[in-house]
Amino acid sequence: MNAPIGPGPIDGSAQIDGPSSIDGKDAAAFRTIGEVANALGIRQHVLRYWEEHFPTLRPLTRAGGRRYYRPEDVALVMEIDRLLNREGYTIKGAKQALRGAKVALKQPVVPETTVANDAAGENNSDYTGLATALRGLRNRLAAALAD
């Protein structure tokens, strides 16, 4: 039985991953702008607009200007959608957050509290993720203010 093609759930939890994805394609397959728009519930003109404002979002273009999104392009669209539509970032803020995410991947941040707690033998794993997220947010804000 084929999966329905169309916008995902209202909460935006649609994902394109794995062979049994919403559109029935393999995760490594290229997708047209229409397929991405339908699967993620984003209009095609919005995707084109994002391509203008986010230089890292560059799908392949074929004859006639037809766009083909690679899996990494789809992942970037999902991240942009999350930043803009769920977290309330502006376009400028989302660009900075994406730049900050690349820097954070290159330089992992180890919270001081985690090191101190591990040395003391305490296990505060519930707070470790929160502390890391807060430090990442602080670093992004500091970088944005420095610009």
**How many CB atoms neighbour CB 103 within 10 A?**
11
Which CATH architecture describes the domain 1-89?
Orthogonal Bundle (1.10)
* Predicted confidence (pLDDT) per residue in 75-122, tens digit: 999 999 999 999 999 999 999 998 886 545 444 444 555 445 555 555
The Cα–Cα gap between 41 and 10 comes to 8
Q: Phi/psi zone of residue 134: left (φ > 0), alpha (ψ -120 to 50 degrees), beta?
A: alpha
Length of the chain in terms of residues written: 147
| Residue spans per domain, the chain | 1-89
* Predicted confidence (pLDDT) per residue in 44-85, tens digit: 999 999 999 999 999 999 988 899 999 999 999 999 999 999
